Amino acid sequence: MKAFVYSGPAKMSLEDRPVPVISEPTDAIVKISKTTICGTDLHILKGDVSTCQPGRILGHEGVGVIESVGAAVTAFKAGDRVLISCISACGKCEYCRRQMYSHCTTGGWILGNKIDGTQAEFVRIPYADTSLYPIPEGADEEALVMLSDILPTGFECGVLNGKVQPGSTVAIVGCGPIGLAALLTAQFYSPARIIAIDLDNNRLEVARRFGATDSINSADGKAVEALMAMTDKRGVDTAIEAVGIPATFELCQKIVAPGGIIANIGVHGVKVDLHLENLWDRNITITTRLVDTVSTPMLLSTVQSRKIDPKLLITHRFKLERILDAYNTFKHAADTRALKVIIEA
Ligand SMILES: NC(=O)c1ccc[n+]([C@@H]2O[C@H](COP(=O)([O-])OP(=O)(O)OC[C@H]3O[C@@H](n4cnc5c(N)ncnc54)[C@H](O)[C@@H]3O)[C@@H](O)[C@H]2O)c1
Ligand SMILES: [Zn+2]
Ligand SMILES: [Zn+2]
C-alpha cells in the first residue's frame, strides 16, 4: 500500500509498505477513505517530536471503513464506516476510567507518533472498541475528519477548560485550524464577544466569518492596548492560547481579566515566563490539556444537527499520490490560505 513516511528531520516520502495486520485481539484494520495533515505533523517533520522515530507512517486523523477486526472487538465489524480518534484509549486503565484518554497508560497519542498512522491506504487501530466511532448514516465524511483531532482539541482544551459562559468575553490568540475550532465551538455557549487575534489578516477575516465579533492584528505589538480599549480596560474572561510560543502565552497573561482563565492549547517547545508578579492578586486560573477526545460523541451530534459546520475549515483536496503537494500547500498557509487539506486515499 502507499504510505507517507517520516524518515528524519525534513525527510519524507510516499513509500510502498505492507498492509498492516491485526497484532492484538483488540485491534481493527481500517481502510482509509479520507485523512488530513495536522500542525503537529509539521512539528514532527522539523524533528520537534522525539517520540516519533524515522520510518514512521504519519497521520492521526481520518475516516474509513473497517477491513477486519481482532477476536476481542465487539462494537465493530468489517464494512462499518468509522471515525478515527487521534487518541487511542484502552478504556480500562486508571486514566481512561477518569476519562483522561490522552494519558492512557498504553495508548494516548500514539497514532502517527509511536505507531504507524493514517496517511496511508490502511491503518491498524489499537483498542478499536474505544478508539473508533461509528459514522452515522448520511453523515458527511469530509466534515467528520475535523472531529478526529481539531474540533475536540479546540473545544476541550480551549472552550471547556476556559469555561466560556453566556455573555462572557473571550479572546482567541491564534486563528489556525485549532483556534478556529475553538471559535466555532465557543459559540455553543453564546459568549457576548469573541475577539480573534492573529498576525495574518486572511485568518482574521476567516475568524470574523466564523463568528468572531472583533479582530486584532497583533503584528504591530499593540494588541494589549487595542483589546483593553475594546473591553473598558477589563480584559477578557477567557483567553485561549492557540499558537504555542512564549509571545502569545505572555499576551494571554496581559489580557486576562480579574477572575478570568487562561486556557492553553498550544504545544510549547521552549521555556515560557509566568508573571506572578503581575498575576498573584488577580484570581486567575491557568489550564493546560492534551486533547482527550471525550467530547467526540457530543460533537458528532452537533455536526449531525448542523449546529456547527466543520467543513468550513476545509480549503484544499488532494489524492494520496499527491500528498507531498498537500504538505507544501499546508506548510505555506500564509500564501496558499490553507486551513485543513483533505487527502483522499
Ligand atoms: N493541546 C493539544 O492537545 C493540541 C492538539 C493539537 C494541536 N495543538 C497545538 O495547537 C497549536 C495551534 O495549532 P494549529 O494547527 O492551529 O497551528 P497553526 O500554526 O496552523 O496556527 C497558528 C496561528 O497562530 C498565528 N500566530 C503565529 N504567531 C503569532 C503571534 N505572535 N501572535 C498571534 N498569532 C500568531 C499564525 O498566524 C496562525 O494562524 C499548535 O501549537 C499545535 O501544536 C495542541
Ligand atoms: Zn493533530
Ligand atoms: Zn487506558
Q: What's 251's domain CATH number?
A: 3.40.50.720
State whether 66 and 183 are in the same domain: no
Find the CATH number of the domain harbouring 328.
Answer: 3.90.180.10
State whether 181 and 196 are in the same domain: yes
Spacing, Cα 153 to ligand 3 middle (Å):
19
- What residues sit around ligand 2, an ion, with C-beta below 5 angstroms? 38, 40, 149
Question: For ligand 1, is residue 200 a contact (CB within 6 Å)?
Answer: yes
**CA gap 341, 267 in Å, rounded:** 21
State whether 276 and 329 are in the same domain: no
pLDDT above 90 for 268 = no
- Quote the cell numbers at residue 298: 457530543
Spacing, Cα 165 to ligand 1 middle (Å):
23
State whether 193 and 262 are in the same domain: yes
pLDDT above 90 for 74 = yes
Structural domain boundaries enclosing 177: 152-287
Q: Are 61 and 35 in contact (CB under 8 A)?
A: yes
State whether 115 and 217 are in the same domain: no
State whether 329 and 311 are in the same domain: yes
Question: For ligand 1, is residue 14 a contact (CB within 6 Å)?
Answer: no
Q: Which of 266, 287, 308 is the last residue of a domain?
A: 287
Spacing, Cα 149 to ligand 2 middle (Å):
5
| Average pLDDT in the chain | 97
Question: For ligand 1, is residue 248 a contact (CB within 6 Å)?
Answer: yes
State whether 314 and 328 are in the same domain: yes
State whether 327 and 299 are in the same domain: yes
- pLDDT the model gives residue 31: 98
> 201-209 vs 177-186: helix axis angle to the nearest 10?
20
The pLDDT of 231-251, averaged and rounded, is: 97
The pLDDT of 234-249, averaged and rounded, is: 97
- pLDDT the model gives residue 114: 98
- pLDDT the model gives residue 274: 98
Question: For ligand 1, is residue 314 a contact (CB within 6 Å)?
Answer: no
Residue 286 banded pLDDT, cuts 50, 70, 90: very high
Residue 314 banded pLDDT, cuts 50, 70, 90: very high
